[in-house]
Amino acid sequence: MFTHMVSPLTPYLPVAVVLGLAGLLAVLIPALTTRLGPRSVNEIKSATFECGSDPIGSARQRFAVKFYVVALLFIVFDVEAVFLYPWAVNFKALGWFGYGTMVAFAFTLVMGLVYIWKKGALTWES
């Protein structure tokens, strides 16, 4: 019956516990600080910066394109890494055959790495 049912949720008990704790803390800590902490609000304290200079303009500046190149390359290699996990846990069973397939896979991407390295896409252009 139901209690013996295998559920896809079973391995996620720790996740649920952590999520619950995180949610609890997220509510608890602000609630406690607003209740317990003494507050005195004045004009100087509520200014954005307290380092002696007045804030100028918005914090939302446009980013330079160079961030974008790095982020894009990060994603490509992140996806490559994703393909390494299932291979790594089966490393012994797949043997030399699996090693060969992964070498072929990684070779093209290493060529990509050599390319962007020499191209200077990883150096910070100023």
Partner 1 sequence: MVVDVVGFLPHATIHLPGPFRYLWLQPICCANSPPRMSPEQILFWVFAVATVFSALGVVVLKNPIASAMSLVATFFFLAGIYVLLWAHTVAALQVLVYAGAIMVLFLFVIMLLSINDVGPAVQLSFSRLLGAVATAALLAALVLAFRKLPTSDLAWANDPARLASFGSIKEVGAIMYTQWLFPFEAVSLLLLVAIVGAVVVAKSRI
Partner 2 sequence: MTIPEFTMADFWPVIPAGILTAAAIVLMISEVFLGAAASRTYQSLLSVLACVLAGAVALMNMTDTPRAVLQGYAVMDPFSSFLTLVVCVGTGLAALLAAGFLQHRNAERGEFYALMLFAAAGMTLLGLSNEFITLFVNLEVLSVATYALTAWLRRGSRPSEGAFKYFILGAFAAALMLYGAALLYGATGTTHLTDMAAKLRAALAETDASGGHPKQMLIYAGFLLVGAGFAFKVAAVPFHMWTPDVYEGAPTPVTALMSAGVKAAAFVALVRVFMALGPAVDPQLPFIAFSVLALLTMVVGNLLALPQRNVKRMLAYSSIAHAGYLLLGVAALFAVGKDAKVGVLSSTPLVGISGSMQSDVYQGILFYLLGYTVTAIGAFGTIVALERREDETKGNAWDLDRFAGLGSRKPGWALAMTVFMLSLGGVPPTVGFIGKVLLFRAAVDAGLLGLSIVGMLASAAGVYYYLRVVVYMYMRPAPEGALVPERRWTTELALVATAAGTVLFGVLPGPITALLQRTDMLFHR
- List residues near partner 1 by CB under 8 A: 1-3, 5-13, 16, 58, 60, 62-63, 65-69, 71-76, 78-80, 82-83, 85-90, 93-94, 98, 101-102, 104-106, 108-109, 111-112, 115-116, 119, 121, 125
Rounded distance between C-alpha atoms, residue 109 and residue 83, angstroms:
12
- The radius of gyration of the chain from alpha carbons, rounded to an integer in Å, stands at 26
Q: Which amino acid is at 53?
A: S
Residue 40 CA: distances (Å) to CA of 31, 44, 45 = 17, 11, 9
- Give the residue, chosen from 97, 123, 124, 125, that forms a contact with partner 2 under the rule CB under 8 A: 97
Contacts with partner 2, residue ranges (CB under 8 A): 90, 93-95, 97, 108, 111, 114-115, 118-119
